[in-house]
Structure 1
Amino acid sequence: MAIIFQEEKKIFTLHTKQTTYQFKVDCYGFLIHLYYGKKIQGEMDYLLTFADRGFSGNPYDTGLDRTYSMDALPQEYPCMGNGDYRSSALVVQNENGTYSCDLRYKGYKIVDGKYALPGLPAVYAAAKEAQTLEIYLEDPVTKIRAVLLYGILPEDDIITRSVRIENAGSQKIYVRKAASAVLDFLYGNYDMISFYGRHAMERNFQRVPVAHGSQMIGSRRGTSSHQYNPAVIFAEENATEESGSCYGMVFVYSGGFQAEAEKDQFNQTRVVMGMESGTFCYPLEEGETLVVPETVLTYSAKGLEKLSHNYHRCFRRHLCRGKYRDEVRPVLINSWEAAYFDFTGETILKLADEAAKLGIEMVVLDDGWFGKRDDDNSGLGDWYVNEEKLGCSLGELARKVNEKGLKFGLWIEPEMISEDSDLYRSHPDWVFQIPGRSPVRARNQLVLDFSRKEVRDEVFEQISKVLDHANVEYIKWDMNRSISDVYSIAAREQGMVLYNYVLGVYEFLEKLMNRYPDILIEGCSGGGGRFDAGMLYYTPQIWCSDNTDAVDRTEIQYGTSFIYPVSAVGSHVSACPNHQTGRTVSLHTRGVTAMAGTFGYELDPGTLTEAEKEEVKEQVRTYHTYGKLIQTGDYYRLSNPAKDETAAWAFVSEDKREALLNAVMLKVHGNMTVNYIRMRGLDPEAFYREEKTGKCYSGGALMEAGYPLPVESGEYLAYQIHFIQE
């Protein structure tokens, strides 16, 4: 059993293969957190201590006992209004304007299988793979209820958390803040690891000590954003890749979020993950419910590496869905950097001709195929094919591409609209725009109100007409701006619009998946602006960044790897000089870097030399050879590209019989020293043969002493070394 309830002490224990999570119901009905960490046996309530804490208040129930305070006790779901002045998971404004909530235990239920969330993405599992615990809390005065949901996947060392907030009272309430997970640590010094960035330089690794006060990352942009990713890790201050305690929290949501860390007056640390609260004000009338998006928790006693592996396996097997979940994705070429908006149907067919000769399997027609769309100032919202520009129907173009032996893919941006479009001229009230104010433009486009069903249905009907008449086997779903001017004429109240907008996006994607189950959908938001676990539920891969520079990508992909599996990372070889940075890097180095993801190309192959074309053919063959290992093998970060002279990483099969070492030299000096790359994840007792040279190495030696990279002259040289167990 993954879930155990000790009736006498009212202690709940959640066990996974290597971890234990424990909390209790105390004598006053409060839910007190006891422990989360390495698997243990026994009851951890002995850790609780009680003292008169001065200005920390006491619940009225405790009478004259000044030693009991919610301001000092570790809690499972803290709310504002019961004497706890630390960061709250739940803030409720009552109809009379007061902020008060006092949740007390009412009961529980244990069921086999993993809970699902209506309208929201969530980790899934078969009944035999998971258990669900439901904890029922209620405010005795207002009758506000909170149903805490715990999903336990024992074999994956994963615990998920979500919450249903129900208004069972007679008065209207406003939910002003809602988190799905809290971790309270009684002691210890932790570092907060987060992933910050900007457009074209996403998910940079940042590690800072948790100090007294409150530290927060989040997004107010309506999407999870380029600026901060909705994932955090809390690591012991001395934790490394291979050792130390680490706790992960990943929010399965594609809208605004906030993650908070607070070290309090007693050196206790609280971390909270949930909805962005600055613009959130969700009304609940009597009988209504708000579902808080899920947070995925995992713990590792063996450092960051094990934590990453837990997330990679969980997301590959229990979050991504569809035909392509477990398949190596087709090698594609995208038309964007090859032609931008300047193309015709003949341009795309020429691209297909060149791609077919190189062994590439799919051609993707990017932006500019619809409406009046020859630049990014018009046409969004008019999802009908510009046959004059293509010189044929889209169905005919797709058929001609298919006849060349390639699949055909298409770019769309359903959530956006241009003012210069037929749809805007017909329905100017369908955009986010505050009455009496001019809207903020971004990329000269506005945002459609996807919280409204009629808006979603119209766009879905337009796009479906296109897909029904062309053999499209891949869709790139883009979203190229942050959201502002949030106002919906159809909303009961404006504080609920952004949440309902995200649910609208999810509904659209679900309909798309159901109607076209054989289409591979890749998420995108100006590259990695919506690279989150919520999107992975619908799109098993996401364009990692608009920055295709191989050197920058080593850092971007490094940060991404802490949470997200390689199978989710859209990564392409692009032209040089690179269109974003102007940097020139060899085709070989670009290929090695791009193979740390779903491999493809972002260039015009007609501009390549014959030697370069032969090299591309070899890259495609190489990816097909190692594709399964890359997609499903354990991923090891062997260096930090932001600090080290090399960017090095490896893929190791789960049975440890095969490994692929990859390295890019980032710095070269006169009279260069040797870089030794220490492998990880091999069998220390086995011997491994290096494929190209035939040399054999002890697994233990490769891990302890390392593998010496050649000392060669040249900028950004790259190496790809394949080992097979003897």
Structure 2
Amino acid sequence: MAIRVYEEQGIFHLQSKGTSYIMQIVNGYPAHVYWGKQLAFEEQPHSFVDLPEGPLFLLDRLPQEYPQYGTGDFRSPAYQVRLGDGSRITELVYSAYRILKGKPQLEGLPAVYCETENEGETLELELRDAYSGLIVTLSYSVFEDSAAIARSVRIDNQGEQPLQLLRALSASIDMPRSDLDAVYLAGTWNREAHVQRRPLGPGGTTIESRRGASGHLLNPFLALAAPDADEDHGDVFGFSFVYSGNFFISAEVEPFRTTRVGIGINPFDFSWQLAPGEAFQTPEAVLVYSSAGFGEMSRTYHRLYRTRLCRGVHRDRVRPILVNNWEATYFSFTEEKIEDIAKAGAELGIELFVLDDGWFGRREDDHSSLGDWTPNPSKLPGGLTNLAKRVNDLGVQFGLWFEPEMISPDSDLYRSHPDWCLHVEGRRRTEFRWQLILDYSRQDVRDYIYDNLSEIFSTVPISYVKWDMNRNMTEIGSATAGPEQQAEIAHRYMLGLYELLERLTTRFPNILFESCASGGGRFDPGMLYYMPQTWTSDDTDAVERVKIQYGTSFVYPVSAMGAHVSAVPNHQVGRVTSLQMRGDVAMSGNFGYEMDLTRFSDEEKDLAKAQIKRYKEIRSLVQQGDMYRLVSPFAGHEAAWMFVSEDRSEALAYYFKVLAEPNAPQRKLRLKGLDPDKLYKVEESGLVMRGDRLMAIGIGIPAELKDYYSYSVRLKIID
């Protein structure tokens, strides 16, 4: 890791683990030169960008780092400003650079971090527009132990007139090739994170959200891959956005066969007023290069996000095995029923009980009471503290579900403060799930929620909070903002949410927070900064979960994925799968159950006890090891993945078969990530094989004539 500056040539060479990123100042513009495999520093580098000067110099041909609008570059700009005279023309010119030890925090925003100054370095390039007084600072952070580069932008108005930002991306890069495939994660509620791959072509490819959240439909991630790239080979360039609201990632192929990638806050319905002396900080984009395919790209994101994005006491701890009562009872429960489920869980070895929706206000269904965070007296006559103590007395921790960003029109809070929701005065207030969204751009609203939740967290022995968010934004407006600020509200909401989460997680560091948005509707790096795990999907069917968890793993570590065993027929798709397969899929994440454990047969109890015992033995490997994808569920009726400890002394592989095949050939599963020179013993069979054989030849999968079949293999090095 290092940053080398060649001032005479105007060249900046950034090295991160295994990768180099090079820029050069050309006619005052930061130009992109190279991003790929690590290159050695040169003593006297030559000029990399050869373009004619004078009247033949065209910005439209220059590979830029932060392109502007209106001065001869007709591709998509990285930023756009409206000046006081109504013009939109600015021209940023390089003025200075700074190199900082470590990585500065982004004010009010989530971001990856360095724990010590020796873990990274940051380059800041300062650009100025002499006419308007606009100063733009491009930030690039590199890391000692990661092939990642974190980019963000600070925009300062040092002029004498107000400015209006119309577009402010976090990063832009002009790649010198267009023979690339776009790989991204798409879906909808209940089938999130399905892997999509298609070639780029002339014109634009856009991955975005306009919903006020990162959303179920498209994750804030894009990879550009060489056509021959696969899990283990080929160039892959990853772009991940550390933000939880409206995002925009585009890959624009232009006639000269280059590709411009831009990533940042979605310019759609966005603007930001900058008075003289004010500044705007963009969220962070994390760029990862891999020369060894998608697998190494993913493991780079996993390690960085698991250890230098997630924070707090739970970052490095194994996560508890839980049972959640939602699919067991939905809204219909009593204290006695909750205690019965918790007791059944304790007998199986479960460590945490989570009380889901319906415990507060007059909440008998989803029509009312969001915002009224007081116990429902008809369901919990003894109150929350009493119930939590009864659960704790069983040797089980107590957790609680909240949806603190929402408000029901049928609630005491709404009747007292009808202006506290996002709305436009005089316009219809769109209700979805009979609820509206609290206006988190307002400090008074956030303070109320902070005080309300803090009172519960301080008086009830809670060790876990499931923080849900079940609808997207409509009528995005605020009663306290002026006309010129209304297009700022979606982003101000996110800043407010982050501010509230920072306050709560700082005051209550021992509570494990899990993010949820109808499942994976806000599974993004921004939320992981505050909550180290996310409910991956409301779909708990084992077959669908294989696809969802496989796709999610392209960016996010297994430690971030909540995964539960649920009842059959499955409540989302009606499918009947074995408890064995449901357990194996769920044990490939943060393991738990989402069902009525009191209804288990003796045989099911024995299997569940065995699953829980096994997960306690393997969870540090699953949650903190390196993940290798072996077989894609999107390619056929089977899938496989494995986890390998950092020292490669231990490994665990899972194989899943959806549909049986008549007269099927013997299946061998080739493993990955092992030490090729060491002997491994297979726990299940006693077989001993060298790591190179296990990876080149593979291990046999027993032939089973049944659908929905799973098989696991645990290996340890023989000393």
- Shorter-chain TM-score bucket reads over 0.9
For 1:212, the equivalent position in structure 2 comes to 202
For 1:110, the equivalent position in structure 2 comes to 99
Q: For each residue in 1:98-127, what CA deviation from the matched residue of structure 2 results, as whole angstroms up to 9, or x when unmatched?
A: 221211111111111112111100101121
Alignment of 1:722 with 2:714, yes or no, is yes
Alignment of 1:709 with 2:710, yes or no, is no
Partner amino acid, structure 1, of 2:644: V
Alignment of 1:383 with 2:384, yes or no, is no
Alignment of 1:101 with 2:90, yes or no, is yes
How far apart, CA to CA, are the structure 2 residues paired with 1:186 and 1:73?
A: 10
Is the CA contact (8 Å cut-off) linking 2:178 and 2:201 kept in structure 1?
no
Query: Cα distance, 1:96 vs. partner?
Result: 2.1
Partner amino acid, structure 1, of 2:32: H
For 1:9, the equivalent position in structure 2 comes to 9
Alignment of 1:331 with 2:321, yes or no, is yes
Which residue of the other structure, out of 229, 238, 247, is the alignment partner of 1:248? Answer: 238
Alignment of 1:137 with 2:127, yes or no, is yes
Is the CA contact (8 Å cut-off) linking 1:167 and 1:286 kept in structure 2?
yes
For 1:37, the equivalent position in structure 2 comes to 36
Aligned length: 713
For 1:619, the equivalent position in structure 2 comes to 611
Which residue of the other structure, out of 321, 333, 344, is the alignment partner of 2:311? Answer: 321
Is the CA contact (8 Å cut-off) linking 2:69 and 2:80 kept in structure 1?
yes
Query: Cα distance, 1:200 vs. partner?
Result: 0.7
The SS at the match of 1:612 is helix
Alignment of 1:678 with 2:670, yes or no, is yes
The SS at the match of 2:244 is coil
Partner amino acid, structure 1, of 2:89: S
1:121-132 to structure 2, matched below 5 A, reads: 121-125=110-114, 126-132=116-122
1:154-553 to structure 2, matched below 5 A, reads: 154-492=144-482, 493-553=485-545
The SS at the match of 1:388 is coil
Is the CA contact (8 Å cut-off) linking 2:403 and 2:468 kept in structure 1?
yes
Q: For each residue in 1:309-334, what CA deviation from the matched residue of structure 2 results, as whole angstroms up to 9, or x when unmatched?
A: 11000001100011110111000000
The SS at the match of 2:211 is coil
Is the CA contact (8 Å cut-off) linking 2:178 and 2:253 kept in structure 1?
no
For 1:22, the equivalent position in structure 2 comes to 22
For 1:92, the equivalent position in structure 2 comes to 81
Q: For each residue in 1:201-255, what CA deviation from the matched residue of structure 2 results, as whole angstroms up to 9, or x when unmatched?
A: 1011011111110110100000000000001111111111111111111100000
Q: What percentage of aligned pairs have identical amino acids?
A: 45
For 1:83, the equivalent position in structure 2 comes to 72
Query: Cα distance, 1:352 vs. partner?
Result: 0.9
For 1:48, the equivalent position in structure 2 comes to 49
How far apart, CA to CA, are the structure 1 residues paired with 2:68 and 2:152?
A: 15
The SS at the match of 2:378 is helix
How far apart, CA to CA, are the structure 1 residues paired with 2:46 and 2:430?
A: 53
The SS at the match of 1:120 is coil
RMSD across aligned C-alpha pairs, in angstroms?
1.2
How far apart, CA to CA, are the structure 2 residues paired with 1:387 and 1:300?
A: 56
The SS at the match of 1:71 is helix
Alignment of 1:567 with 2:552, yes or no, is no
Is the CA contact (8 Å cut-off) linking 1:34 and 1:44 kept in structure 2?
no
The SS at the match of 2:647 is coil
The SS at the match of 1:216 is strand
Is the CA contact (8 Å cut-off) linking 1:394 and 1:469 kept in structure 2?
no
Q: For each residue in 1:556-577, what CA deviation from the matched residue of structure 2 results, as whole angstroms up to 9, or x when unmatched?
A: 0011001000000010011111
The SS at the match of 2:283 is strand
Query: Cα distance, 1:666 vs. partner?
Result: 1.5
Unaligned runs of at least 5 residues, structure 2: none
Query: Cα distance, 1:455 vs. partner?
Result: 0.5
Alignment of 1:120 with 2:93, yes or no, is no
Partner amino acid, structure 1, of 2:422: F
How far apart, CA to CA, are the structure 2 residues paired with 1:117 and 1:138?
A: 21
Q: For each residue in 1:144-177, what CA deviation from the matched residue of structure 2 results, as whole angstroms up to 9, or x when unmatched?
A: 1111111111211121001011111111111111
How far apart, CA to CA, are the structure 2 residues paired with 1:283 and 1:560?
A: 36
Is the CA contact (8 Å cut-off) linking 1:115 and 1:149 kept in structure 2?
no
Query: Cα distance, 1:188 vs. partner?
Result: 4.5
How far apart, CA to CA, are the structure 2 residues paired with 1:677 and 1:612?
A: 29
Partner amino acid, structure 2, of 1:39: Q
Query: Cα distance, 1:391 vs. partner?
Result: 2.0
For 1:57, the equivalent position in structure 2 comes to none
Partner amino acid, structure 2, of 1:625: E
Which residue of the other structure, out of 660, 685, 694, is the alignment partner of 1:693? Answer: 685
Partner amino acid, structure 2, of 1:81: G
The SS at the match of 1:158 is strand
Query: Cα distance, 1:349 vs. partner?
Result: 0.7
Is the CA contact (8 Å cut-off) linking 1:203 and 1:228 kept in structure 2?
yes
Is the CA contact (8 Å cut-off) linking 1:385 and 1:466 kept in structure 2?
no
How far apart, CA to CA, are the structure 2 residues paired with 1:229 and 1:369?
A: 32
How far apart, CA to CA, are the structure 1 residues paired with 2:289 and 2:90?
A: 30
Q: 1:509 to 1:689 in 2, by over 3 A?
A: same
Alignment of 1:655 with 2:647, yes or no, is yes
The SS at the match of 1:131 is strand
Query: Cα distance, 1:701 vs. partner?
Result: 1.5
For 1:590, the equivalent position in structure 2 comes to 582
Q: For each residue in 1:685-725, what CA deviation from the matched residue of structure 2 results, as whole angstroms up to 9, or x when unmatched?
A: 22211102111122112111222211111111100110111
Is the CA contact (8 Å cut-off) linking 1:383 and 1:459 kept in structure 2?
no
Query: Cα distance, 1:128 vs. partner?
Result: 1.1
Query: Cα distance, 1:193 vs. partner?
Result: 0.7
How far apart, CA to CA, are the structure 2 residues paired with 1:199 and 1:276?
A: 21
Is the CA contact (8 Å cut-off) linking 2:207 and 2:222 kept in structure 1?
no
How far apart, CA to CA, are the structure 2 residues paired with 1:619 and 1:262?
A: 48
How far apart, CA to CA, are the structure 2 residues paired with 1:109 and 1:48?
A: 23
The SS at the match of 1:454 is helix
| TM-score normalized by the length of structure 1 | 0.97
Is the CA contact (8 Å cut-off) linking 1:236 and 1:246 kept in structure 2?
yes
Query: Cα distance, 1:674 vs. partner?
Result: 2.5
Query: Cα distance, 1:437 vs. partner?
Result: 1.4
Is the CA contact (8 Å cut-off) linking 2:627 and 2:641 kept in structure 1?
yes
Q: 1:45 to 1:180 in 2, by over 3 A?
A: farther
How far apart, CA to CA, are the structure 2 residues paired with 1:650 and 1:47?
A: 43
The SS at the match of 1:228 is coil
Partner amino acid, structure 1, of 2:639: A
For 2:548, the equivalent position in structure 1 comes to 556
The SS at the match of 1:86 is coil
Is the CA contact (8 Å cut-off) linking 1:188 and 1:236 kept in structure 2?
no
Is the CA contact (8 Å cut-off) linking 1:35 and 1:44 kept in structure 2?
no
Query: Cα distance, 1:444 vs. partner?
Result: 1.3
